[in-house]
Amino acid sequence: MREKYNLPRYKAHNAMQDAISTAELFLAQVDYMGNKEAIKLRQLT
Q: Residues 13-28: pLDDT tens digits? A: 889 998 999 999 988 9
- pLDDT category at 30 given cuts 50, 70, 90 is confident
Give the rounded distance of the alpha carbon of 23 from its chain centre: 5
Give the closest residue to 32 by CA, choosing from 17, 20, 1, 16. 1
Return d(Cα 23, Cα 20) in angstroms, integer.
Answer: 5
Check: CB of residue 39 under 8 Å from CB of residue 30.
yes
Is 17 in contact with 11 (CB distance < 8 Å)? yes
4-9 own/partner pairs: CB under 8 Å, 24+ apart: 5/29, 5/32
